[in-house]
């Protein structure tokens, strides 16, 4: 495995072969024809200097928001309002429908989507100490916003991430994303104050070689003169600069028909050059108190802008209360035995009916109690949609929606049950529910599950081969029987809710998000069983 990793690292610093070069150029053509050729030929190639980023930097939410406003302005979205949350990135990969990770070891920043004219972003607070890398990362996330704004988001999350890196070069961010794709720094100090000496960080979804090739192709397509090429090369780190120079040499030596392959319009048809944004933005003072509170890390979980209404009957509670009241009343009134029995039955039935008619309504995202007609959660701000105990027709609709969201995946891998089972197994392993014997016999799978990159098929097979939860600890098996036995619809209901949320918001469905549903069910079980939960789960709910 180490040899494979070393080979991959070496290949990252090689220029793409002919077939890959053509694939990258076709991706550029696809983006340009879907939107406009103007950015590819006219967008200035930005670097991290004060020429393009003159605003005063502060490593906080205000500084990030100013950066995002400037980057959005460069891509023509400067009129958008920006909402930023500083928190913790997901410390596991995001997963597509096949269980393939696309998020690496953690998200440095993330784009949550558009809400009207508001563009929502999040940034891992540990990334605020490296401004140059953060600029490249935010450029990538703004490209997600740009693609969503233009309606060109790919259905496969892996493809979408790669196309977003291509889009970053198209929009003029080639230098920034290429520099942040690989960073080697010396004299590094950790956030805790320890001297690390040096640090290497990898970001992005295309390799440095692929990004350098695209940047060289862009310079060639727009007939960049020597001064512009030297400016761009001078803004790159030494290794990245060498890649760009090699790519440029290949294009010139082989007379590669970059513009012909792309179908780039003739220069006479190009739009006029843009006005360059140079002046610093004024201080952004439009921070409302509620928005400041949202900047606090909410227990490491991603806020859900849409959540399901969960309804729990209070019939049993009503029955108990009515029985107590009836017993006390009969004792005081001193009725004879037969009348006592009749009164108890009638009052208990009435109490159960009243309790059932006044159910406990909660938000699936944070567990906050909701009013009868609530359309939003006062706890997390989520918009409430009907969920929880769904009818067969609703379940069928959810399944069709979730499968349609991944309609480019092979049919044989579109098993909702298998995907839900895979998510349950990964969560159980990561929560310590796997027995020692299972961990010893499936060490490789356990390691991958802990890292968040085990395949869905291998995880689902664990539950399929041992439906009695024999691979789990005693307490794990007890929860499994509760979750998959006495509450049969619960697993699929939760998976449908997660898939429907992903489809509605246009965000990747991944097992990390589904683990929030499972943590919630674990918490509910603990209330009945007396199970002691880890502090992070107990505090969350």
Q: What is the pTM of this model?
A: 0.51
C-alpha–C-alpha distance, residues 502 and 496, integer Å: 10
Query: Domain residue spans in the chain?
Result: 11-289, 390-541
What per-residue confidence (pLDDT) applies to 230?
94
Strand order through the sheet with 306-312: 360-363, 306-312, 383-386
The per-residue pLDDT for range 325-374, each reduced to its tens digit, is 767 766 666 656 666 677 777 767 776 667 656 666 676 545 566 666 56
CA-closest candidate to residue 129, choices 92, 86, 93: 86
Residues 6+ apart with CB under 8 A from 146: 75, 76, 77, 167, 171
pLDDT at 168: 94
Per-residue pLDDT tens, the chain, 541 aa: give them: 333 443 444 466 788 888 888 888 888 988 988 888 899 988 999 988 888 888 888 888 899 999 999 999 999 998 999 998 887 654 333 433 333 333 334 567 888 888 888 998 888 887 888 788 888 889 999 999 999 999 888 877 778 888 999 999 999 999 999 988 754 333 333 344 433 333 333 445 788 899 999 999 999 998 889 899 999 999 998 888 999 999 999 888 877 777 777 777 888 888 887 666 556 666 654 544 334 333 333 333 333 344 455 556 566 666 677 677 767 766 666 656 666 677 777 767 776 667 656 666 676 545 566 666 565 655 545 555 543 333 344 334 433 333 333 333 333 233 456 677 777 888 888 888 888 888 888 888 888 888 777 777 788 778 777 767 788 888 888 888 777 764 444 565 566 555 554 554 444 445 666 777 777 778 777 877 777 777 666 655 4
The DSSP element (H or E) to which 321 belongs, if any, is helix 315-333
How many angstroms separate the CA atoms of 469 and 462, rounded? Answer: 9
> Token pair for residue 5?
């990793």
Q: Give the HSE-up count for residue 26: Cα atoms under 13 Å, Cβ half-sphere.
A: 6
Q: What angle do CA 296, 540, 493 make, to 5 degrees?
A: 115
Please report the DSSP string for 492-535 in residue order. Answer: HHHHHHHHHHHHHHTPPP-HHHHHHHHHHHHHHHHHHH-PPPPH
Q: At what angle do helices 208-221 and 157-170 cross, to 10 degrees?
A: 40
- Three-state SS at 111: strand
pLDDT recorded at residue 338: 66
**Cα gap 29→214, rounded to integer Å:** 12
Q: CA-to-CA distance for 107 and 100, rounded, in angstroms?
A: 16
Query: Cβ distance 146 to 166 under 8 Å?
Result: no
CA R_g for the chain: 28
**C-alpha–C-alpha distance, residues 274 and 532, integer Å:** 61
Q: What ranges make up the beta strands (E) of 353-403?
A: 360-363, 383-386
Q: How far apart are CA 14 and CA 19, in angstroms?
A: 14
Q: 133-190 pLDDT, tens per residue?
A: 888 889 999 999 999 999 888 877 778 888 999 999 999 999 999 988 754 333 333 3
């Amino acid at each position: 495995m180490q040899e494979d990793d070393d080979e991959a690292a070496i290949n990252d610093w090689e220029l793409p072969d002919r077939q890959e070069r053509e694939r990258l150029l076709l991706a550029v053509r696809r983006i340009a024809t879907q939107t406009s050729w103007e950015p590819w030929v006219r967008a200035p190639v930005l670097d991290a200097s004060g020429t393009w980023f003159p605003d005063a930097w502060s490593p906080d939410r205000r500084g990030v928001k100013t950066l995002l406003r400037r980057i959005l302005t460069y891509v023509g979205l400067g009129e958008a309002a920006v909402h930023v949350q500083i928190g913790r990135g997901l410390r596991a990969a995001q997963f597509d429908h096949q269980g393939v990770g696309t998020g690496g070891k953690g998200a440095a920043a993330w784009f949550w989507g558009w809400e009207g004219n508001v563009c929502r972003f999040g940034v891992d607070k540990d990334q605020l100490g490296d401004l140059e890398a953060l600029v490249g990362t935010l450029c990538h996330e703004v490209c997600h916003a740009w693609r969503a704004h233009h309606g060109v988001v790919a259905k496969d999350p892996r493809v979408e991430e790669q196309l977003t890196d291509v889009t970053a070069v198209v929009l003029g961010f080639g230098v920034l994303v290429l520099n942040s794709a690989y960073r080697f720094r010396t004299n590094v100090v950790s956030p805790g104050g320890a001297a690390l000496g040096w640090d290497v960080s990898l970001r992005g979804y295309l390799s440095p070689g692929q990004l350098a090739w695209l940047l060289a192709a862009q310079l060639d397509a727009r007939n960049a003169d020597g001064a512009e090429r030297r400016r761009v090369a001078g803004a790159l780190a030494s290794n990245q600069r060498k890649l760009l120079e090699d790519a440029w040499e290949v294009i010139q030596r082989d007379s590669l028909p970059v513009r012909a392959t792309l179908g780039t319009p003739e220069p006479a048809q190009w739009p006029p050059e843009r006005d360059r944004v140079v002046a610093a933005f004024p201080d952004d003072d439009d921070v409302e108190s509620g928005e400041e509170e949202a900047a606090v890390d909410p227990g490491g979980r991603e806020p859900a802008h849409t959540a399901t209404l969960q309804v729990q009957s209070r019939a049993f509670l009503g029955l108990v209360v009515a029985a107590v009241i009836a017993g006390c009343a009969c004792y005081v009134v001193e009725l004879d035995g037969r009348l006592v029995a009749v009164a108890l039955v009638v009052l208990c039935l009435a109490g159960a009916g009243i309790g059932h008619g006044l159910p406990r309504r909660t938000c699936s995202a944070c567990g906050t109690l909701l009013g009868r007609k609530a359309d939003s959660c006062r706890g997390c701000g989520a918009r409430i949609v009907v969920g929880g105990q769904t009818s067969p027709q609703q379940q069928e609709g959810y399944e069709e929606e979730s499968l349609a969201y991944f309609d480019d995946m092979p049919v044989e891998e579109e098993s909702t049950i298998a995907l839900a089972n895979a998510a349950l197994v990964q969560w159980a392993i990561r929560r310590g529910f796997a027995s020692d014997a299972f961990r010893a016999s499936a060490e490789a799978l356990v390691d991958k599950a802990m890292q968040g990159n085990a395949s869905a098929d291998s995880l689902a097979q664990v539950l399929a081969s041992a439906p009695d939860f024999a691979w789990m600890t005693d307490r794990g098996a007890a929860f499994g029987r509760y979750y998959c036995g006495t509450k049969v619809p619960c697993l699929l209901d939760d998976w449908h809710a997660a898939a429907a949320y992903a489809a509605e918001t246009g965000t990747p469905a991944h097992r990390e998000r589904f683990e929030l549903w499972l943590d919630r069910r674990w918490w509910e079980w603990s209330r009945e069983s007396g199970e002691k939960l880890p502090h992070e789960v107990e505090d969350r709910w």
